[in-house]
Amino acid sequence: MSKVWLGVNVSDDVLALLESRVEVIGPRSDPNPPDSIEGVEDADAAIICPTFPANQATFDRLPNLRIVTRPGAGYDNVDVEAATACGICVVRTADSNTESTAVFTVAMMLNAVRRIKMGDGLLRDGRWMPLPELTAFDLNGATLGIIGLGRIGGRVAEIAHVLGMQVIAYDPYIDEGRAVSLRTRLIPDLPTLLNQADVVTLHVPANAETRGIIGAAELSQMKRGAVLVNCARGPILVEADLVDALNHGQLSAAALDVWDPEPPAADNPLLHMPNVIATPHMAAKTDEGQHRSRLSAAQQTILALKGQIPSGLVNLEVWDRRRLPSQ
């Protein structure tokens, strides 16, 4: 029977599913310390948490490991190139947190645009209307610029239409048909989108192409007084440049759920600005979203162990030369 190292918390039904198909080993919860790999040496597959060191050094110590499954859409802690070179399949659960993250993104946008956090702080300080700091704009008729029109970005577009927003998007990797189905106008380049949007929201993965995609030059191209939302990944935004843009009034507010690094330092200026909504990478953290993610991770791991290509296989090119069970 195949052995699966379980390094995340799962519900009883997910654990029962795994135990009916494989031998479950490992902590069966988010490990402490979080980068622990104790027990993985015997595993055929590992369902890992975001801090598991899925890199070349770890893979070199795990000759039996054939599958690494990372619950959630992101897999920043997995060195996919190293895994592929070792014949290890990398699997993610891309669809599991779409709804949770998209709704959270819209909530962050509403909070930032309508100055809800700022108003709360002012009232607690004993201030009352009129308060010019709380001047805002209606979302009905405003333009939302989405950078990355994948699963989450597309769902954000659908919700934004309900609010009466005009939606534009920049994504060189999708076709016109998807944009049309989402009633979204594709913009051919990033500067044009930034110049037209009242709110910009980021929905791209963190990789070499996207690192620092929003920095000083891009922030200067945004409408003065616009709002920026980042619930994707911290490294795609240059935080120091955002601080400058907020201090000089180029942007009126920002909402950030992700940071670079994570967690952010206590003296990060963004944590102390009244016009910044700051949360601890919690967009996907609903009970339903977490359950979907872990259930999908278990199901896909079982499929891969049975020799069936899982839907969330990241490195598809590895499949025909993947590690096979030792005889």
Residues involved in catalysis: 233, 262, 281
In whole angstroms, give the CA distance from residue 303 to residue 167. Answer: 38
Task: Fill in the amino acid letter for 47.
Answer: I
| Residue in the block written with tokens 């050094």 | 57
User: Are the beta carbons of 254 and 228 closer than 8 angstroms?
Assistant: yes
In whole angstroms, give the CA distance from residue 173 to residue 157. Answer: 17
For 175, residues 6+ apart whose C-beta sits below 8 A from its C-beta are: none
In whole angstroms, give the CA distance from residue 176 to residue 180. Answer: 6
293: helix, strand or coil: helix
- Angle, in degrees to the nearest 10, between helices 98-113 and 151-162: 50
Q: Which of 42, 46, 54, 40 is nearest to 18 (CA)?
A: 46
In whole angstroms, give the CA distance from residue 194 to residue 214. Answer: 10
Strand order in the sheet with 251-256: 185-186, 166-170, 143-147, 199-202, 226-230, 251-256, 276-278
